[in-house]
Chains A and B, each alone.
Chain A
Amino acid sequence: MTGAGGPPAAEVVAAVRAVLAGIADPEIPAISIVDLGIVRDVTLARGRLEVELLPTFIGCPALDLIRATVAEQLEPIRANPDSGIEQVAVTISFTEPWTAERISDTGRAALRASGFAPPEAGPKLLSLAAPATCPYCGSRRTVLENAFGPTRCRSIHYCTACRQPFEQFKDG
């Protein structure tokens, strides 16, 4: 329960989730942090709102920025006395690993539309060996140029069908 007369906790959490769904990943702004699957849980108990984030890669330098953005975007909700929120905690969790399977279908479509191949589904070592699907022409006649790309979560590929280099969002 929240403060007397305020909305129930579930309603506040839903409002928080709606705000999170509008926060873009700083390195690939086409996808939201919710569609990317890095929001593990949102809980409100005894006035403490906790947003639990799963890093795509442990050493991701964008994490601090994402945490600060989440706190900033939630400030209007926190500042509303009816929300029952006294404190906002944005935490990093390793309770379960972030994996490519956490990317939503909407997220996958958003990645493709901005020229990124979403990670292949399935066991990780098999997905590493499988050719990525070109986000431009849909061909699987592609080669891995470098498993390490411009950021920790991206690898570099080349499509031999449409002769385009492209990037894939890597499984963490």
Chain B
Amino acid sequence: MIARARLPRDRERDLQKATSELLLALADDDFVLGFADSEWTGIAPHLEEDVAMSSMAQDELGHAAAYYGLLADLSAGDPDRIAYDRPADAFRHCRLVDHGRGDWARTMARRWLYDSANAVRLEVLAGSANRPLADLVVKVRREETYHLLHGEAWLERLARHDGEPRRRLAEALELVGPDAPSVLAPLPSEALLVDAGIQPLPGAELLTRWSARIEPVLGRLGLDLPAAAPAALDPRTARSGHGAAFTWLWTEFSSVRALDPRATW
């Protein structure tokens, strides 16, 4: 039997599903990281940092809300329902942001790894064939500039202070480093997204660009980033199989919604 050529309508549907997958990954990454980082509000090492961390967490939630909005436009859904009414295992954030916030060094190491990888991803998505996504990303990138400067300043500060700061930073990189590539790992439907120009470059290319960007910084500071965990690069595992830290966070951020689904503020 001769294989039937795929109808344009099938392709349209597949493409919409792939686009939703990309938007959900972008949204869930920022949403989960935003909530994890917001735990520092009130208890950051000093007041200025408390304000900075809270501001960045607020940015991430704002970015997530905007991505959920695009996703809702595609599916005629409600952004709040997508954000708050899903079971924990339906979240598609990457392994890097699945870790608990840990100590300050871990939070800073994770922020720098995430911000540097996210910058590479957003740079490429600014040229997306999906116009609403490309427009939004132009704005997101302008805000993320502040985050990247902040993360690099802290990486440098911790790395250049021998003893406890540097030791804690090294431990943090050892723990979360293997999962860092999960931010850029290929999505299951990547081929379709790249073909349609919605994600103009594949994950493998993003990972190469990211390495070229961070290696000089790590080299200058004499820091080691462990090799990628196989699960962090595999499209089937990079964004699923969440751990206990996320189950706890999910219970926290969905608790108000669980108490009163109509609550607003």
Q: Which one of B144-152, B177-185, B232-240 is at the interface?
A: B144-152
| B65 adjacent to A94 (CB under 8 Å) | no
Q: Which residues of A contact B63 (CB under 8 A)?
A: 58-59
A112 proximal to B (CB < 8 A): no
* Distance (whole angstroms) from the CB of B92 to the closest CB of chain A: 21
Known: A94-B132, A172-B143. A149 touches B62 (CB 8 A): no
Give complex CA distance A60, B56 in Å.
Answer: 12
| A152 adjacent to B149 (CB under 8 Å) | no
Known: A57-B59, A58-B62, A94-B66. A124 touches B51 (CB 8 A): no
Which single residue of chain A is at the shortest CB-CB distance from B58? Answer: A59
Give complex CA distance A59, B54 in Å.
Answer: 12
| A60 adjacent to B62 (CB under 8 Å) | yes
B72 proximal to A (CB < 8 A): no
B161 proximal to A (CB < 8 A): no
Q: How large is the interface on A (under 10, 10 to 19, 20 to 34, 35 or more residues)?
A: 20 to 34
Q: Which residues of A contact B51 (CB under 8 A)?
A: 146, 148-150
B167 proximal to A (CB < 8 A): no
| A146 adjacent to B139 (CB under 8 Å) | no
| B-facing residues in A34-79 (Cβ within 8 Å) | 55, 57-61
B48 proximal to A (CB < 8 A): yes
A128 proximal to B (CB < 8 A): yes
| B-facing residues in A121-136 (Cβ within 8 Å) | 124-125, 128
A145 proximal to B (CB < 8 A): yes
Q: Which residues of A contact B66 (CB under 8 A)?
A: 58, 94
| A59 adjacent to B65 (CB under 8 Å) | yes
B229 proximal to A (CB < 8 A): no
B142 proximal to A (CB < 8 A): yes
**Binding site of B, secondary structure by majority: helix, strand, loop or mixed?**
helix
Find B143's partner among A58, A95, A96, A150 (CB 8 Å cutoff).
A58
| B52 adjacent to A58 (CB under 8 Å) | no
| B-facing residues in A15-48 (Cβ within 8 Å) | none
| A148 adjacent to B138 (CB under 8 Å) | no
Q: Which residues of B contact A113 (CB under 8 A)?
A: none
Q: Which residues of B contact A55 (CB under 8 A)?
A: 139
Which single residue of chain B is at the shortest CB-CB distance from A172? Answer: B142
Q: Which residues of B contact A94 (CB under 8 A)?
A: 66, 132, 135-136, 138-139
Known: A57-B62, A59-B58, A59-B65. A145 touches B136 (CB 8 A): no
Give complex CA distance A35, B230 in Å.
Answer: 53
B82 proximal to A (CB < 8 A): no
| B139 adjacent to A58 (CB under 8 Å) | yes
A6 proximal to B (CB < 8 A): no
B189 proximal to A (CB < 8 A): no
Give complex CA distance A147, B52 in Å.
Answer: 7
| A58 adjacent to B135 (CB under 8 Å) | no
A97 proximal to B (CB < 8 A): yes
| A148 adjacent to B139 (CB under 8 Å) | no
Known: A94-B66, A96-B138, A148-B48. 14 other contacts (CB 8 A): A58-B59, A58-B143, A59-B62, A59-B63, A94-B138, A94-B139, A96-B135, A124-B145, A128-B149, A147-B150, A148-B56, A149-B55, A156-B48, A172-B139
